[in-house]
Amino acid sequence: MAVYKRGYERYRGRLEGRWRRLLVLPRYTFRRMFRQRHAIVVLVASLAYPLWCAVYIYLAGNADLLDRLGSFRQYLAIDGAFFLRFVSVQKVFAVFIVALTGPGLVSPDLTDNALPLYFSRPLSRADYVVGRLAAPVALLSLATWVPGVLLFLLQCGSAGGGWFAANWRVGVGMVAGFWLWLALCGMVALAGSAYVKLRPVASGLVLGFFFVLGGVAGMVNLVFRGTAGSLLNPSWAVWRLSAAVMGTDGKGGAAIASAPGAAAAAVALAVLLLLLVLVLERKLRPVEVVS
Amino acid sequence: MAGVVEVENLKVVLGRREILRGVSCSLGDEGAGKAVGLLGPNGAGKSTLIRTLLGFHTPSAGRARILGFDCHRETREVRLRIGYMPENDSFIGNVTAVNFLRMFAELSGLPAKVALEKAHETLFHVGLGEARYRELRTYSLGMKQMVKLAQAVVHGPELLILDEPTNGLDPAARQRMLRLVREMKEGQKMNILLCSHLLRDVEQVCDEVVILKDGMVAHGCNLEEERRSNRRFVELEVVGDDGGLGAGLEGIGARGVAEGAGRWRVVLPAGVEVDALWGVLRREGLLVHRLTHRRDTLEEIFLKAMGHIAHTPGEAA
């Protein structure tokens, strides 16, 4: 029967379980994000460097070529530093992608006061945040840890089991670093989207968060002639932790030796994430209570 | 039969103010499809009560249960069974009505395919069938109200909570909204909790009312029983010699009080209908100018609960 002839009938059938319901929000968030054509362009552009790295790994694993290079072969070494550089480059792309997609995550719901409708459903605030966060994290994964793991597997296949046994920590450090970065980017995007309704301003806020904090950290280091200011730079903190897990922090020379340790970087990141959670907790409420 | 909403000594503090100060009531009957009106002046705590039932506010004391589930501890179970239409504008501007309803139906647990069907079905039912592929930001105020109702019923809830559903509607749209709400109650056996300032809306839709004042229940009544009891009170105006009317009324078991100039107030006992009264009047040879049943309007009940009048006119009789 045609739908317009049917009339309303109350639904009394089976309901989906909790986990299936939780997947609804990421699905609809993806639709919102894919309306941002610029983000898709940046996502595609972000795959250029992993492709170049794949070629590099192929060349580094090519015995004939290595023989012909002679003493230059040392420059084609694939080690922790190579993957740490890969993490650093892809982190920048992740920031640009999240700056373009992030503003549309929460602000439409806040602008039109839709939160009471969400929270009158079987959906907690944590479910809402996770649901909204899952989509950008999945998108950023395509530019970060997924190509990273593929490159690592490519190198393992190319260099053999011996290389994996000596460098497995590199893979773990890279994935851990990327996941930390994705969590941070996602939370910053959500918080920016929750506070600023204008899309360009929210994008600017996300970019500003990462680049301005980096600048401030540098200034603090210069003014106080120390290295503790680096803890204000989330990018540096993630890099420091990745390097520690990869086991490459001992090879950084005096600069890294005098910088704050991985534990301090972990604490700085934890504090930052906690602040972002508090910001979201304050803003994402079904009703505003004025005391 | 258990109440759909059961509230025991519920207290809610927001900031430093105690908004609900020990509300206790039992509303509706499970499975009966009843509508309960929630009335009260501004600041009485109506919206706070609704939001506490939805789990938005945490009670400082007491408890509230919906369909047997604790509103604070079993929020998810409660929210699976209710539909909520908020008072203020609530929508997502840049999505079509179909996608809007579909998403909320899926969030309420409907399978994706069913959710799409129900979204179309519900939009046609509320009169937005032709506009269902338009973005919500292009809707008029009346259409937004209808789409809010649609999202509240798309998943077929057992309890429908409506906060000022006729706000900003023109008379025709208001009647359509009330008709739809009545249909949900009578046709679909949904329980309805209707919060409104418009007493006529409540009178048209509800079977029971609860009146809140200063965060407490000031009065609760069953409108159907009220209407039934009103039929026992008759106001009469006759022309002619009414000296024997008192005795005549006693003859049929009724009691009457003469107010002078042919005016009488009569109380009919249970089992005695107005026909018997007409018989007495005919025997006494009186000409009837006016015979009306007492009508305590909801407005009178409300004003009495607020302390603005001491008695309703019917009670004075």
Which pLDDT band, with edges at 50, 70 and 90, does A291 fall under?
Answer: low
> Which residue of B60, B106, B161, B176 to mutate against A (max A Cβ within 10 Å)?
B106
Query: Do B215 and B235 belong together in one domain?
Result: no
Contact between residue A232 and residue A201 where contact means Cβ atoms under 8 Å apart: no
Query: Do B130 and B193 belong together in one domain?
Result: yes
Domain boundary among B163, B190, B221: B221
**Nearest chain B residue (CA) to A23:** B107
CATH of the domain at B170: 3.40.50.300
Which pLDDT band, with edges at 50, 70 and 90, does B292 fall under?
Answer: confident
Residue B235 has pLDDT above 90, yes or no: no
Query: Do B271 and B170 belong together in one domain?
Result: no
Query: Do B92 and B214 belong together in one domain?
Result: yes
Q: Is residue A5 part of a domain?
A: no
Q: Is residue A63 part of a domain?
A: yes
Residue B63 has pLDDT above 90, yes or no: yes
Query: Do B91 and B165 belong together in one domain?
Result: yes
Q: Shortest Cα distance from B8 to chain A (angstroms)? A: 22
Query: Do B100 and B215 belong together in one domain?
Result: yes
Residue B303 has pLDDT above 90, yes or no: no
Domain boundary among B201, B221, B241: B221
Query: Do B248 and B174 belong together in one domain?
Result: no
- Total domains in chain A come to 1
Q: Shortest Cα distance from A73 to chain B (angstroms)? A: 56
Q: Do B54 and A24 touch (CB under 8 A)?
A: no
Q: Shortest Cα distance from A273 to chain B (angstroms)? A: 25
Mean pLDDT, chain A, rounded, equals 89
Q: What share of chain B in percent tops pLDDT 90?
A: 55
Q: Do B14 and A116 touch (CB under 8 A)?
A: no
Residue A237 has pLDDT above 90, yes or no: yes
Q: Residue A27 is part of which domain span? A: 20-283
Q: Is residue B226 part of a domain?
A: no
**Nearest chain B residue (CA) to A17:** B109
Domain boundary among B189, B221, B253: B221
Contacts of B13 in chain A (CB under 8 A): none
Q: What is the pLDDT of residues A189-214, one digit of tens each?
A: 999 999 888 888 988 999 999 999 99
Query: Do B211 and B237 belong together in one domain?
Result: no
Mean pLDDT, chain B, rounded, equals 87
Q: Is residue B72 part of a domain?
A: yes
Mean pLDDT of the region B7-16:
92
pTM, two decimal places: 0.84
Q: Residue B40 is part of which domain span? A: 5-221
Q: What is the pLDDT of residues A2-53, one digit of tens each?
A: 777 778 899 999 999 999 999 999 999 988 888 878 888 999 999 999 999 9
Q: Do A7 and B121 touch (CB under 8 A)?
A: yes
CATH of the domain at B274: 3.30.70
Residue A250 has pLDDT above 60, yes or no: no
More confident residue, B201 or B257: B201
Residue B35 has pLDDT above 80, yes or no: yes
**Which ipTM did the prediction report?**
0.85
Query: Do B60 and B153 belong together in one domain?
Result: yes
Query: Do B171 and B265 belong together in one domain?
Result: no
- Total domains in chain B come to 2
Q: What is the pLDDT of residues B119-178, one digit of tens each?
A: 999 999 999 999 999 999 999 999 999 999 999 999 999 999 999 999 888 899 999 999
Q: Is residue B66 part of a domain?
A: yes
Q: Is residue A2 part of a domain?
A: no
Interface of A with B (CB under 8 A): 3-4, 6-16, 18, 21, 24-25, 28, 108-109, 111-114, 116-124, 285-287, 289-291
Q: Do B124 and A287 touch (CB under 8 A)?
A: no
Q: Do A117 and B120 touch (CB under 8 A)?
A: no
Query: Do B211 and B235 belong together in one domain?
Result: no
Query: Do B188 and B261 belong together in one domain?
Result: no
pLDDT of residue A150: 97
Q: Do A4 and B129 touch (CB under 8 A)?
A: yes
pLDDT of residue A19: 92
Q: Do A122 and B92 touch (CB under 8 A)?
A: no
Mean pLDDT of the region A100-108:
88
Name which of A3, A117, A290 is nearest B90 (Cβ-Cβ): A117
